[in-house]
Structure 1
């Protein structure tokens, strides 16, 4: 089990130092989310600053970029990292895609399926010089040597997608190389939905389920004193209320025994009551959806919780307090070491 650190993209002048610190702290890699800044530029700087560090987008927004543009960026990053780049893609939500990016969003699941296949067709074209993809949303069939990056001395980048509902999980199992589980994806949800749907999709494409990595972001509450853990618990509570406000994720709460959580959060959200949103996340929610422990026990707690179901875990809040970053790195080193010895 590999352990990555999650980060939002930073100003480019800062990312090289952060990448070097991440590598020195013995994390497997860095996963770049995409918000106001692009994940790809951060990954490019990190690739130059910390050779050998595994880098991934987790996740980059797909639809505002053409599949060819995305494929070309991933290709260059795969070359720059010596084969240590994973392309993580997601749909985002309609409001962002249509009103912020000015792109189309109709039938996002099938559109993303076609997008992934188009990206992989571009990878093949970079090696062969022949581009031939004709799907329901994207049709690509023109490439010349002048407009191709050409072959690289590394395998094609892995293409992972963010998936929550059963259809998307099956689609990921069929056409992608990995699944980015939602931050609310506790082990029960993974067992009920992620693993069986991944297997069904993989079987459809004649692959093994193990060919499709499960990548899980984990929220942690760690400290050797009650004061430390109390402070982190409130940060996690706020993060969970943010993610839990999305209607499409309501079933995750409901199936875990917390019916109506999303509706209650949204009621507070519409009133602009952010403290009230967080208050809808009880300590019982947190006990199920986060991992709480002392520093000495955190590695074992994460192995017990996610070993056997996740190929990669991503520490969601390792960078929340820079003074604790190296301690999280020690935990990551213990987890990867245990995985290798096992």
Structure 2
């Protein structure tokens, strides 16, 4: 099982130690470095800037929000990063949620599965560079001939020859239909809030996609990168308390009350009552009370927190569940150095 460093997205200011972490991760044997975006920093810029200090690690987006860019624009970013890095780019894509898609990007959220299939198909054709790219839509028609068109659009082929026509595309997915689609059309799954005890359920979803006609991969050559807080500590209680606040935010506040994909994930794990209560309290502005509702078990279903021996044992559990990469965030260089001996265990 490989390790990836998740830089995440920026908060109020750029992180001060990200460049140091990226270099240290490569030296420690990490396989990849990923950057994310929400509604502030973008995912490609940090990879280009900090990735220029590396020679080996793969550089991935986790994730690029599809509504932020047309498929052609995303393909241009990806092929550019791939050339600059010497073939180390991974294009991680995701639909995000309706609050961001419609509130920030001003795009419709409806039919996310259909949009994802169409979006990935266009990027594949751009990277293949076999012919000028056309698409019948309905979401990303090329050339565009709809309202406002002056009728002069023409099919085009990338001026730049992509370094790799098969540049890997991974999808961030949480629900059963999205995960099955990921197994069908993508090269890897960026799994958030993955719980090893539910591996059989995930495998059912994945197998549905692998079994579809024209599926791109099989289980043998498909990557599963699971985001996971892996924290080596002799004081797990303190870390659990910190994580309680983070989980309350994502379960109770990262999404509309009517549609929160993160909350749905934990409902599938069996935490329906806790999720409802966290959401009720968080939406009422009672964030401390919402955090207090988060049980240790909910956190530890999707995180590894404890001393080095405990972490080593749990990593084996995740690997046995089918995870091919642990995608970890670290607060600083000290924690990365503590993880380093586990990378090649």
- For the Cα contact (< 8 Å) 1:250–1:261, is it kept in 2? no
- For the Cα contact (< 8 Å) 1:237–1:286, is it kept in 2? yes
Task: Report the secondary structure of 2:56's partner residue.
Answer: coil
Aligned residue in 1 for 2:274:
261
Q: Show structure 2 runs of 5+ residues with no match.
A: 144-153
Distance 1:286 1:13, change over 3 A: closer
1:287 offset after TM fit, Å? 3.4
Aligned residue in 1 for 2:248:
241
1:179 to 189, 197, 221: 189
Aligned residue in 2 for 1:196:
204
Distance 1:255 1:96, change over 3 A: closer
Q: For 1:17 and 1:290, how far apart are their aligned partners in 2?
A: 24
Answering whether residue 58 of structure 2 is matched by residue 54 of structure 1, we say yes
Given the two structures, how large is their TM-score scaled by the length of structure 2?
0.85
1:129 offset after TM fit, Å? 4.5
Aligned residue in 1 for 2:334:
323
- For the Cα contact (< 8 Å) 1:7–1:32, is it kept in 2? yes
Given the two structures, how large is their TM-score scaled by the length of structure 1?
0.86
Aligned residue in 2 for 1:26:
29
- For the Cα contact (< 8 Å) 1:26–1:330, is it kept in 2? no
Answering whether residue 170 of structure 2 is matched by residue 167 of structure 1, we say no
Answering whether residue 305 of structure 2 is matched by residue 301 of structure 1, we say no
Q: For 1:69 and 1:9, how far apart are their aligned partners in 2?
A: 20
Deviations 1:128-169 (A, max 9, x none): 353233333122354556x522242x4531111111111111
Task: Report the secondary structure of 1:134's partner residue.
Answer: coil
Aligned residue in 2 for 1:92:
96
Aligned residue in 2 for 1:290:
303
Q: Please tell me the root mean square deviation across aligned C-alpha atoms, in Å.
A: 2.3
Higher helix share goes to which structure? 1
- For the Cα contact (< 8 Å) 2:79–2:162, is it kept in 1? no
Aligned residue in 2 for 1:339:
none
- For the Cα contact (< 8 Å) 2:210–2:219, is it kept in 1? yes
Aligned residue in 1 for 2:111:
107
